[in-house]
């Protein structure tokens, strides 16, 4: 069974097992770790991280990386609050923010693929400029708040019909299933994997690298913006730096979830498990009574320990 | 006959080499042009800061960023995703260790103890990064992200808030003597360039598979590049300490992305094997001069941020564009 999974499947399975084990460890070590409130809040936090990480996974699958994620999250967070505060219809606000995020992402992808520039620098530069523009617009003091519907949608105490979790959780799972289907069963999804596993060969399979890169980065921008709007509902007020922790956390979730940064291998289910693992570790460390500083250091060590167990790269000699 | 057939082959190899060198200069060429323009602008706008007597302080102001970009370079040159994102937090960690642990707690402030300590901490941290990225074979950005978090956490534990003072000799490193540590770094790098190690590093960075088949100890070459990055980052931490004159747990981390931007702006390929420390220094100077000029205009930091982002993307795009045109012409 395990051998049939292949190396990527094994990594994904490891991430899922890890999430379960951490839940168990937490239950043993910390009183109340399995309490309803604690489980609910972990699910909500993991889903918020998961939404942003879906976009990161897509760009990593084509062999890229998106450092603009935290800036786009902040952009969506602030702009949505500001526009809604000015009395704009919220559905229209989402449309505007979504279109802008798609455009930002498309610029990232088109620039890096057309001019063959490293996406690390392009996304960093574009992200920095976007953040500067948002700060300039709001003069550094964003105003406005989220509509009640969004707040309810992500509220830890919320209910999705008969389910004891807010609508965010089932919606995230549906989104995850849909995107997995897109990756596994549509031409776009297969082209994405082909692009990532062999960028030189992809054009011979009539795959346009520029089109794939542009579309994928645009999607990454859209998912980051979605996370930004959801975070607005979660925290209640706009904050330009709300996305900052997501810069490295999305990358960590992707890698813990078994997707390799060289591209072409991995998937979204692993990433969702990775987001859950990161959230559990964080909750566990805080629950153990560590100071925020030590939580950060311990998180670093645990990420390294986990990835060194099942996320190792092949030796050079294996690539000859 | 044999000479006649051998000669064109040799010349074409030579021509290729020449074109490659020129191509490299071209990538750094934009950064140099930008440097000249920005420097002229700065000197015109702000003669006081760039007066002959003020150069020490001005270089001291730019030194941490320049040193950080020098530090970021070796790991990137090693190729195959080689990068060290822990450079910034490591600088902050060295800063906190020097000011809080060494000077305030242990009362040791002699340069003969402080400088070796900073270098040693850098070397150990670099060796840890190298071990994780090369021997454990964790993807470098993830490995150094792990140590990024560790260094940040340790720094905050040592010095939870800005604190402490530094002895005069450290302060002088951001004043009249500010060029000394930079010259030391330049000297060390020039020395390394004379060693076979440098050629091996560039070979590994350009094509690690070819280097491996040619018998280059790929893993050790890369490991050493992370150690170099660590030692340089330790020096950069010392310069940061000189500039801020205290321990501040919050300034270090921001240097990571600035340093990597500077390296790319200077024309060092993030794919490895192309570029060098001089290119990184020019890129870092560009960013410093840009910040300096924009601050002079008294524009808000927000505009500065937009301009910085756009210039970064713009100049890298120009590099990419001219490379593309060259490829078309080459066809």
Helix residue spans in chain B (DSSP H)? 2-45, 55-77, 87-96, 111-130, 140-158, 168-172, 179-194, 196-206, 208-213, 218-244, 255-265, 277-296, 301-330
- pLDDT for B159 beyond 90: yes
The pLDDT of residue B5: 39
B306: nearest CB among A133, A260, A262: A133
pLDDT category of residue A261 using cuts at 50, 70 and 90: confident
Max mean pLDDT range (A101-105, A256-260, B279-283): A101-105
Query: In this structure, what are the phi and psi dihedrals at residue B138, rounded to the nearest 5 degrees?
Result: -85, 140
- The Cα-based distances of A188 to A183, A208, B230 in angstroms read 7, 11, 42
Whether the CB-CB separation of A264 and A22 falls below 8 Å is answered with no
- The residues pairing with A180 across neighbouring beta strands, listed in sequence order, are none
Rounded percentage of chain A residues whose pLDDT exceeds 90: 62
Contact residues on chain A for B153, CB-CB shorter than 8 A:
293-300
- Interatomic CA distance for residues A68 and A72, integer angstroms: 6
For residue B150, pLDDT over 80 is answered with yes
What number is the ipTM of this complex? 0.88
Residue B39 in this model has a pLDDT that exceeds 50? yes
For the ranges A136-150, A218-232, A247-261, A303-317, the one whose mean pLDDT is highest = A218-232
Partners of residue B266 in chain A, C-beta under 8 Å = none
Domain ranges of chain A: 3-311
Best of B93, B142, B269 to disrupt the A interface (most A CBs within 10 Å) is B142
Fold of A3-311: ABC transporter involved in vitamin B12 uptake, BtuC (1.10.3470)
Nearest to A300 among B146, B270, B313 (CB): B146
Q: Which residue of chain A comes nearest to B217, CA vs CA?
A: A316
CB of B200 closer than 8 Å to CB of B283: no
Taking CA–CA distances from B218, the nearest residue in chain A reads A316
CA A281 to chain centre: 17
Nearest to A128 among B154, B156, B305 (CB): B305
Strand partners, A163: A160
With b for 16 or more beta-carbon neighbours within 10 A and e for fewer, the A19-41 pattern comes to beebbeebeeebeebeeeebbbe
Instruction: Round the average pLDDT of chain B to a whole number and report it.
Output: 88
> Chain A residue closest to B299 (CA)?
A136
Which residues in chain B have their CB less than 8 angstroms from residue A261's CB? 81, 139, 141-142
C-beta atoms of A316 and B218 within 8 A:
yes
Q: Which residue of B has its CA nearest to A248?
A: B145
* Residue in A closest to B85 by C-alpha: A248
CA B281 – CA B265 distance, rounded (Å): 10
A303 touches chain B (CB under 8 A): yes
Mean pLDDT of the A61-90 span: 94
Q: What are phi and psi of A279, to 5 degrees?
A: -65, -40
Residue-level pLDDT at A3: 57
Single out the residue of B174, B163, B297 nearest to residue B242, CA to CA: B174
Whether the pLDDT of residue B6 is over 80: the answer is no
Q: Do A303 and B213 touch (CB under 8 A)?
A: no
Q: What share of chain B has pLDDT > 70, as a percent?
A: 92
Cα of B4 to nearest chain A Cα, Å? 36
User: A312 or A234, which is more confident?
Assistant: A234
A70/B contact by beta carbon, under 8 A: no
Q: Does B142 touch chain A (CB under 8 A)?
A: yes
Confidence of residue B14 (pLDDT cuts 50, 70, 90): low
B163-211 pLDDT per residue, tens: 989 999 999 998 888 899 999 999 999 999 999 999 999 999 999 999 9
Comparing CB atoms, the residue among A111, A308, A317 nearest residue B212 is A317
Residue B300: list chain A partners with CB under 8 A: 136
Chain A hits for B143, CB-CB cut-off 8 Å, are 304, 307
Q: Does B244 touch chain A if contact means CB atoms closer than 8 Å?
A: no
Chain A closest CA to B212's CA: distance in Å?
A: 7
Q: Write out chain A residues lying below 8 Å of B79, CB-based.
A: none
């Amino acid at each position: 069974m395990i051998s049939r999974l292949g190396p990527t499947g094994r990594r994904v399975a490891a991430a899922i097992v890890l999430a379960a084990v951490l839940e168990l460890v937490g239950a043993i070590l910390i009183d109340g770790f399995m309490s309803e409130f604690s489980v609910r809040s972990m699910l909500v936090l993991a889903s918020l991280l998961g939404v942003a990480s879906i976009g990161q996974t897509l760009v990593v699958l084509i062999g890229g990386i998106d450092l603009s994620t935290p800036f786009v999250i902040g952009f969506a967070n602030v702009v949505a609050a500001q526009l809604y505060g000015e009395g704009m219809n919220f559905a229209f606000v989402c449309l505007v923010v979504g279109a802008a995020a798609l455009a930002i992402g498309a610029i990232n992808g088109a620039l890096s693929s057309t001019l063959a520039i490293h996406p690390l620098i392009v996304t960093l530069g574009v992200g920095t400029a976007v953040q500067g523009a948002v700060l300039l617009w709001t003069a550094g003091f964003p105003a406005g708040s989220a509509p009640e519907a969004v707040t309810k949608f992500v509220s830890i105490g919320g209910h999705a019909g008969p389910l004891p979790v807010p609508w965010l959780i089932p919606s995230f799972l549906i989104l995850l299933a849909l995107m997995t289907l897109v990756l596994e069963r549509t031409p776009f999804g297969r082209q994405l994997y082909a692009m990532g596993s062999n960028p030189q060969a992809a054009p011979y399979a009539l795959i346009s690298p520029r089109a794939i890169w542009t579309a994928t980065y645009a999607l990454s921008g859209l998912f980051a913006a979605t996370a930004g709007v959801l975070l607005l509902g979660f925290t209640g007020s706009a904050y330009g730096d709300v996305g900052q922790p997501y810069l490295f956390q999305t990358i960590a979730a992707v890698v813990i979830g078994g997707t390799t940064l060289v591209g072409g291998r991995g998937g979204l289910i692993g990433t969702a498990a990775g987001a859950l693992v990161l959230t559990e570790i964080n909750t566990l460390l805080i629950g153990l009574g560590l100071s925020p500083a030590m939580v950060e250091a311990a998180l670093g060590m645990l990420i390294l320990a986990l990835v060194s167990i099942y996320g190792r790269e092949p030796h050079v000699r294996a690539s000859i | 006959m044999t000479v006649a057939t051998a000669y064109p082959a040799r010349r074409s190899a030579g021509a290729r080499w020449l074109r490659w060198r020129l191509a490299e200069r071209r990538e750094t060429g934009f950064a140099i042009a930008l440097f000249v323009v920005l420097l002229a602008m700065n000197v015109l706008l702000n003669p006081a800061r760039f007066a002959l007597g003020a150069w020490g302080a001005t270089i001291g102001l730019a030194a941490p960023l320049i040193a950080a970009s020098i530090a970021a370079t070796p790991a990137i040159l090693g190729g195959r995703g080689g990068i060290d994102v822990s450079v910034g937090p490591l600088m902050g960690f060295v800063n906190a260790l020097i000011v809080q642990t060494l000077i305030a707690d242990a009362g040791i402030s002699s340069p003969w103890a402080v400088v070796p300590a900073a270098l040693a901490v850098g070397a150990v941290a670099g060796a840890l990064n190298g071990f994780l990225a090369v021997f454990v074979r964790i993807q470098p950005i993830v490995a150094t992200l792990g140590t990024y978090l560790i260094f940040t956490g340790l720094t905050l534990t040592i010095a939870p808030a800005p604190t402490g003072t530094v002895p005069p000799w450290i302060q002088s490193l951001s004043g009249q003597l500010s060029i000394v540590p930079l010259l030391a770094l330049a000297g060390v790098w020039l020395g390394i360039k004379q060693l076979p190690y440098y050629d091996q590093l560039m070979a590994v960075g350009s094509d690690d598979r070819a280097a491996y088949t040619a018998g280059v100890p790929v893993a050790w070459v890369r490991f050493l590049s992370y150690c170099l990055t660590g030692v340089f980052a330790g020096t950069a931490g010392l310069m940061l300490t000189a500039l801020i004159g205290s321990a501040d747990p919050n300034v270090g981390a921001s240097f990571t992305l600035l340093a990597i931007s500077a390296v790319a702006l200077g024309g060092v390929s993030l794919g490895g094997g192309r570029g060098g420390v001089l290119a990184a220094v020019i890129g870092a100077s560009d960013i410093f001069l840009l910040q300096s000029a924009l601050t002079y205009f008294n524009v808000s930091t927000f505009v500065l941020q937009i301009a910085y982002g756009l210039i970064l993307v713009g100049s890298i795009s120009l590099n990419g564009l001219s490379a593309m045109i060259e490829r078309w012409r080459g066809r």
